[in-house]
Amino acid sequence: MNDIATPAAHELASSQPPAAVSRWEAFLFWLKLGFISFGGPAGQIAIMHTELVERRRWISERRFLHALNYCMVLPGPEAQQLATYLGWLLHRSWGGIVAGALFVLPSLLILIALSWIYIAYGNVPLVAGLFYGIKPAVTAIVVHAAHRIGSRTLKNGALWAIAATAFVAIFALQVPFPAIVLGAAVIGFVGGRFAPARFQAGGGHGGAHKSYGAALIDDDTPTPEHARFRWSRLARVAVVGALLWLVPMALLTATLGWGDTFTQMGWFFTKAALLTFGGAYAVLPYVYQGAVGHYGWLTPTQMIDGLALGETTPGPLIMVVAFVGFIGGYVQAAFGPDAPFLAGAAAAALVTWFTFLPSFVFILAGGPLVEATHGDLKFTAPLTAITAAVVGVIVNLALFFGYHVLWPAGFGGAFDWPSALIALGAALALFRFKANVIHVIGGCALVGLAVKLLG
């Protein structure tokens, strides 16, 4: 087979960077990623690392992690922002827009369809069985992703201590994620001045080319012309982004009124996108409080079911907002009693627009500043410390998933042995056999369906 080469041939091929990536080749990859990006942000970042750093070598590991660090400190879905950043770095603004949009669109279409089935037809045994198998698989994927990111980042005792402290802070002390990020950044800033060797990018380990070969955008590749910082470009991106928010919001207010469901959805999810840090896991309590408690767009039970859909479909977990919008528009019959599906679909698209628009603006406006700092320790040291802290946060999320999957009724209820065995099998496939994430998801879904149908 052509894919199986001798070590010498592989080493020779890896010593040269891959050929330039065409826009069509990139488009096909981002489209594929939109359909296979399961596992929440940790799993999605792991998929991108495997595909873009290890296999395709479009970007070096150090520059991949530097971009990831920036996305981690932004409000919004970090995995989608990372895809936007990498697409922008490869193919300018349109490349970033295509990458970010394709990361979201498949999930939006799938969630609209599943939300309609959910609200129109009630419980669907087939879907319930598939979800039963996917949930423990997602738990194993998050654990595996924490291991992968941690093994690349935690290269010394100082970074291990930051990760452990972050875990204790969020698990035992309920410290807000923004406070953890700020604390890690301060530690990294101080550590970068007094112990710089411990806060080098990637924890001070060697360049990515030692492990994966020369990359198209390598550690020492000059910043592309379009990625160089210019005040005029920053102003242009800011103006266009403001207009893309202001025009639809003004039209909604003028045609429907400020108190209309659609207008309030646009305003609420704009605040959710801007005011919450830490990705989907941090924004969900805010969405729950507003959508269920304040506006009454859906019930608590519906919100929990929507979270299950968001966890088990490709795309960012924050896409649960599409479910919230669909249910709110459908149930309140925003377009009249004869068009509930149309109202739900329109509401889902609307909240997706207002939720993700800031992410595109942050990347296209801030990307040049980030590219200008990838070799500057005073910027990279705080970001390296933040990445170490995020490892601890991801471990906490893995425990959170594991608790709800293995003890669905709480510790006072029964232990779910079938889910535990599915999770163990998924972990074995990922850690021991290096199985593809999408294959693990598919296999576990089929096992879960069989358990439910035969149980």
Residue type, position 159, single letter: L
pLDDT at 268 over 80: yes
SS (H, E, C) 40-92: HHHHHHHHHHHHHHHHCCCECHHHHHHHHHHHHCCECCHHHHHHHHHHHHHHH
Lowest mean pLDDT among 70-74, 223-227, 237-241, 340-344: 70-74
Rounded Cα distance between 184 and 254, Å, is: 45
2 pLDDT above the threshold of 80: no
Structure tokens that stand for 186 in this block: 């301060």
Number of CB atoms found within 10 A of residue 292's CB: 18
Beta carbons within 8 Å of 148's beta carbon, 6+ residues apart:
46, 49
For 302-341, write each residue's pLDDT tens digit: 876 777 677 668 888 788 899 999 999 998 877 888 899 9
Tallying the residues shown for the chain, one arrives at: 455
Q: Give mean pLDDT, residues 86-105.
A: 95
> Between the ranges 113-127, 201-215, 218-232, 300-314, where is the mean pLDDT highest?
218-232
Which phi and psi angles does 151 have, rounded to 5°? -65, -25
The tens digit of pLDDT for each residue in 333-385 reads: 778 888 999 999 999 999 999 999 999 999 999 889 888 776 666 667 887 88
Report domain extents, the chain: 124-205+232-455
pLDDT digits (tens, 9 = 90+) for 32-63: 999 888 766 777 888 899 899 988 999 998 88
Q: Alpha carbon of 300 to those of 65, 285, 288: distances in Å? A: 37, 12, 8
Can you tell me whether residue 75 is helix, strand or coil? strand
**Distance between CA 261 and CA 189 in Å, rounded?**
45
Q: Report the SS3 class of residue 434.
A: coil
pLDDT value at residue 378: 66
The position carrying tokens 């840090």 is 277
The answer to whether residue 152 scores a pLDDT higher than 80 is no
In angstroms, the Cα distances linking 445 to 137, 180, 189, 419 are: 8, 35, 45, 11
Cα–Cα distances in Å, from 444 out to 133, 314, 337?
Answer: 5, 15, 40
